[in-house]
Amino acid sequence: MKKELNFWALTPILVFLFLTFGFGLYCGSSKIVDAIVFFMIATFIAIFMNKDRPVMDKVSTFAKGAANENTVIMILIFLLAGGFAGVARAGGAVDSVVNFFLSFVPDFMLVPGLFFVSSLVALALGTSVGTVTAMAPIAVGLAEATGIPVALVVGAALGGAAFGDNMSVISDTTIAATRLCGVEMRDKFRVNFFIVLPAAILTMIIFGVMTSGQDYTFVAGEYQLIRILPFAVVLITALAGVNVFYVLLIGIALASGIGIVQGTFVSEYGQIVGCLQVFQKGMLGMAKISMIVLIVGGIIEIMKYNGGIGWIVQVLDKRARGKKSGVLANIALTVLVTIFVANSTVAISAVAPIEMETSKKHGIDPRKTAAYVDLYATSTMANIPWGGMMLAAASTASACMTTGELAAVEIIKYSTYSQLAMLSGIIMLFLGIPKLKGEK
């Protein structure tokens, strides 16, 4: 028999938040001790709570939550997305995308153009951190050549990465949000598009005004259109509603074939082995988040059995009088958890099941729940200096600077897009935009 609503059933996740935030502050970074260590601690706290049940019964409950259908499908998509990103990047696709679009950007629009190109790279790669790492050297080069503050240019690249990652159909945050909320990727894309497009346009205008009057030139590097093809096909097929497994497999086949023919995969055993090695590296890059998703699912199932999830839903319900206030309660939960865990995918995995309960109770369309949880988790990450996105931006930029270094906290005032996106989300909520087909 399930337990009554119980705040103390949340102890495992509260311990995780305390350890993550505490060690992050103590070490100056959330990356010194990985989140998976704290999740394992939380797992055994969950298992050894509730002494009225045999340990193996609680382990079975954990396994039920960890190995549910959505989680397993999500992990398969994670691995394929990681493999695609690895093959495409090793094949020179990222450099070709960047240089192709920068070659068409007028000199006086280079900073807004950098935001746009960064968003395209993130849209194609499905990773904000990977995008920032790729774009930061270009941003630093542009800043040092023009005298524009490095923090401003890196902030433009960071904003583009957040925008593209939020919209990408192969992003781990999109995969987590759509699977846990039970919606199609293209539906979530459409909702996000209408919510954040005004923020993206206004961001480019603001960066254009801030850098107007500068006299500078920038020469883009070489590119090959054929290398852009896998990204284009993945985006088009995904938006056309093709099953995500087919989308990723087609992208992997194209990126692998082009790379092998052009000889871009470096290995002493030949191109095919080289391709398999970078594919392997890409999948392994998603292994940790896959393990975390499994663990989070198990912890949440135990907390749900013990009445913890019901307690959170009850608290949110007290503050939610209808759809709009229900969405606002979900947003607050997303932002709070993201601040503490400093990982957008982990935050989404933790809060999406809870927010779906609130959404069902108040008649909130799950497509909007998926869009909002992804938007606010990603945007929050672009504003916390101990998070991976900002740390990657600051560390990569500092390594490329000829003098001085860039602190993550300096970028916050130029994290214009993510701040406007969060504001746009609230405005669109109260305006009722977008109005979805079939929405009650």
| 17 touches 337 (CB < 8 A) | yes
pLDDT digits (tens, 9 = 90+) for 153-169: 999 999 999 999 999 88
Q: 203 and 114, same structural domain?
A: yes
Q: What is the mean pLDDT of residues 3-19?
A: 82
In a domain, 195, yes or no: yes
In a domain, 158, yes or no: yes
In a domain, 314, yes or no: yes
Mean pLDDT lowest among 58-72, 101-115, 405-419 = 101-115
Sign of CA dihedral 342, 343, 344, 346: negative
Q: 107 and 41, same structural domain?
A: no
Which pLDDT score is estimated for 156? 94
Q: 237 and 119, same structural domain?
A: yes
In a domain, 431, yes or no: no
pLDDT digits (tens, 9 = 90+) for 250-289: 989 999 999 999 998 888 888 999 999 999 988 888 888 7
In a domain, 414, yes or no: no
Q: 76 and 54, same structural domain?
A: no
Q: 270 and 317, same structural domain?
A: no
In a domain, 373, yes or no: yes
Calculate what percentage of the chain has a pLDDT beyond 70. Answer: 95
Return d(Cα 256, Cα 259) in angstroms, integer: 5
Which pLDDT score is estimated for 1? 43
List alpha helices for 171-220, DSSP H: 172-181, 185-210
Residue 253, amino acid: A
The residues, ordered by sequence, that sit 6+ positions from 346 with a Cβ below 8 Å of its Cβ are 35, 289, 292, 296
Instruction: Give CA torsion, residues 153, 123, 389, 67, to 10 deg.
Output: 180
- In the chain, how many domains are there? 2
Q: What is the mean pLDDT of residues 10-14?
A: 87
Return d(Cα 416, Cα 231) in angstroms, integer: 27
Residue 21 burial (10 A CB sphere; 0-12, 13-18, 19+):
middle
Last residue of a domain, one of 385, 404, 425: 385
Return d(Cα 381, Cα 415) in angstroms, integer: 10
Mean pLDDT lowest among 52-66, 209-223, 259-273 = 209-223
Q: 316 and 248, same structural domain?
A: no
Q: 304 and 236, same structural domain?
A: no
Taking 90 as the threshold, does the pLDDT of residue 171 lie above it? no
Q: 300 and 237, same structural domain?
A: no
pLDDT digits (tens, 9 = 90+) for 14-45: 888 888 888 877 887 666 787 789 889 999 99
Last residue of a domain, one of 245, 262, 285: 285
Greater confidence (379 vs 398) lies with: 379
* pTM of the model as a whole: 0.77
Q: Which domain holds residue 303?
A: 7-68+288-385
Which pLDDT score is estimated for 310? 77
Q: 62 and 139, same structural domain?
A: no
Given pLDDT bands bounded at 50, 70 and 90, which one contains residue 109? confident
Q: 59 and 128, same structural domain?
A: no
